Chains A and B, each alone.
Chain A
Amino acid sequence: MVRGLGTGRGARGRFTLTPKGPVNFEALFDTVYPSLFRYCNRLTGDPDQAEDLAQEAFFRLLDRGAEGTDAGLRSWLFSVATNLVRDRARTRETRRRILSGFPPPEDETGPERDLARAEEIQRVRKALEILSQRDREMLLLRQEGFSYREIAEVADVSHRSVGTILARAFQRFAAELSNEESGNGTSR
């Protein structure tokens, strides 16, 4: 039974959960899964991958068995998912470098997809990608209602710097959106 959840991949040592009896797993799933999926989907831009990541985080919780407050377990799940996203991003980057000589795959969305919506999604994704990995994670955690203290734990930054990083991330994201809208997007 893991109480502190301070060991293993995805969990940071600073997580200390207060034991509050057995976890109602189904209730935890209902409360956290939609939010965790949305967070992973926004981070990766891939619903299938987001589903894998969110479920993997829950599997790890199940495998270890955990006790703690709902808030503590939520932070832990998001922390695990965040690390999984980072790991996959590194793998993807390696693969991209290997495959860079090949033509890109065709757009899987097909011609029926509404063009305007596809462009909007592309615009938002580009604006997100302009942010550093850490800033992007923090901005998205905030959007999921995480407090500054929780964000600091998951992103491993000091509590006092969260406001500054978020302010910069929000403004940079909004500015990039605006630039993309006017066709002056930042090239990376």
Chain B
Amino acid sequence: MGHPDKGLIQALLDGEVEGTEAENLRAHLESCRECEAGAEALEVASLETARALLLIDSEPRLQDARSHLLGKKGPRSNRVFGFSISLPKAASIALLLTGAAATALPGSPVRRWMVQGWEALTESVQSSSDQENPLGAGEDQTAPSPEGLIAEIGAGIPALTGGVEIWIHDLATEAELRVVWVDGDEAWIRAGEGTRFTREGSRLDAFEPPGAVRVEIPRDLEQVVVGLNGTVLLRKSGGEVEILGPVQQRTPSEIIFEAPGSTNDGPS
């Protein structure tokens, strides 16, 4: 085969070429030093781009956006008699009005119905307001507490593309961030109850953990970024581990980073 153009090599690197075409391309890259060098250059450019873009990222104000958007959504879908009111509230009012009428009839079965309805309603409202964590599958609300930590919940992410990004936001002052190398193919964040998690693609974020955080990273992963408040603390690329944050203690199996409020302030 002739020399493939850069676009085709890029597509191969991005996993967009499959089957026989991909096999032929790989065979060519192995036998052609010029194309192999071209592929390496493209891969480096791609990695450099990803790394550089992390520098300009800001944290989204998820809670604000969420309440803003969902606040708009509510009235649209739950309009009752022309008033913007949520369905549970509307149901409550209807129940109260019915109840008021029922009190005028001593011994009325409506009274029993009203009490039962109210209990059912308050239960359903209670359970819907309990939903705090936006993560779905993969979430482990009952994960065992790691040693010495107050962690009670956690979230994991499979390393499907050979790499993961883990970000912790607003870690409590004096709280410890521990990165542990583990076996397996899922990265995890374990933190105290109340921590919120979001996950997309190969990125997992934990927001406002109330105490210490433990990050578990599969030791075989090639590409890893662990960051705190927008600053990269640890980066692993091609098997090389680069520690960029202030370390309190390091062993072959774990790294404990200094707490945000400790004497040596934050990573440089």
In the complex formed, the residue of A with least CB distance to B131 is A26
CB-based contact A148/B45 at 8 Å? no
Write out, one digit per residue, whether chain A residues 1-33 have a CB within 8 A of any chain B CB (1) or not (0): 000000000000000000000000111011111
Binds B, one of A80-88, A93-101, A158-166: A158-166
Residue among A30, A37, A55, A58 with max Cβ neighbours from chain B (10 Å): A30
Give 7 A-B pairs besides A26-B134, A55-B65, A121-B55 with Cβ atoms closer than 8 angstroms.
Answer: A63-B76, A163-B10, A163-B11, A164-B7, A166-B7, A171-B41, A173-B49
List of B residues within 8 angstroms of A142 by Cβ: 14
Flag whether A66 is at the interface (Cβ < 8 A): no
B residues near A162, Cβ cutoff 8 Å: 7, 11, 16
CB distance from A38 to the nearest CB of B (A): 6
Give the distance in Å from the alpha carbon of A120 to the alpha carbon of B8 in the complex: 32
Q: How far is the CA of A177 from the CA of B57 in the complex (A)?
A: 16
Residue contact B55 to A50, C-beta cutoff 8 Å: no
Binary contact readout B38-82 vs A (1 if CB under 8 angstroms, 0 otherwise): 000110111011101101111011100110111011001000000
Closest to A177 in B: B52
Residues 32-59 of chain A: 1 if any B CB is under 8 Å from the residue's CB, otherwise 0?
1111011001100101001100110011
Known A29-B69, A30-B134, A59-B69: A38·B50 in contact at CB below 8 Å: no
**Complex contacts, B92 vs chain A, CB 8 Å:** none
- CB pair B42–A51 under 8 Å, yes or no, is no
Q: Could you tell me which B residues sit within 8 Å of A by CB distance?
A: 5-11, 14, 16, 41-42, 44-46, 48-50, 52-53, 55-58, 60-62, 65-66, 68-70, 72-73, 76, 134-136, 198, 200-202, 205
**Residue numbers in B under 8 Å from A41 (CB-CB):** 56-58
Interface SS of chain B: helix
Given the contacts A27-B136, A54-B65, A55-B65, A161 and B52 also touching, CB distance less than 8 Å: no
Residues from chain B with Cβ under 8 Å of A32 in the complex = 200
Question: Closest approach, in angstroms, between the C-beta of B237 and any C-beta of chain A?
Answer: 15
Task: For B198, list chain A residues within 8 Å (CB).
Answer: 30, 34
Assess the A34–B60 pair: CB atoms within 8 A.
yes
Residue from A32, A59, A124 with most neighbouring chain B CB atoms (10 Å): A124
B73: chain A residues at CB < 8 Å are 25, 62
Closest to A38 in B: B57
Residues of B within 8 A of A174 (CB): 44-45, 48-49, 52
Q: Which A residues are CB-close (under 8 A) to B45?
A: 170-171, 173-175
Task: Provide the residues of chain B in CB contact with A29, threshold 8 Å.
Answer: 65-66, 69-70
B56 touches A59 (CB 8 A): no
* Min distance, Cβ A157 to any Cβ of chain B, angstroms: 12
From known contacts A62-B76, A163-B16, infer whether A124 and B52 are also in contact, taking CB-CB under 8 Å.
Answer: yes
Within 8 Å CB of B50, what residues of A?
143
- Our pick among A35, A144, A164 for the contact of B6 (Cβ within 8 Å) is A164
In the bound complex, do residue B65 and residue A166 qualify as a contact, i.e. CB atoms below 8 Å apart? no
Instruction: Considering the complex, give the chain A residue whose CB is closest to the CB of B43.
Output: A170
Q: Is the CB of B7 within 8 A of A51?
A: no
- Nearest CB of A to B42, in Å: 6
User: Which residues of B lie under 8 Å from residue A145 when comparing CB positions?
Assistant: 200-202
Contact of A139 among B49, B200, B205 (CB under 8 A): B49
- What is the chain A residue whose CB lies nearest that of B17? A163
- Min Cβ gap B92→A in Å is 22
Contact of B60 among A26, A37, A121, A165 (CB under 8 A): A37
In the complex, which of the residues B7, B42, B57 has the most CB atoms of chain A within 10 Å of its own CB atom?
A: B7
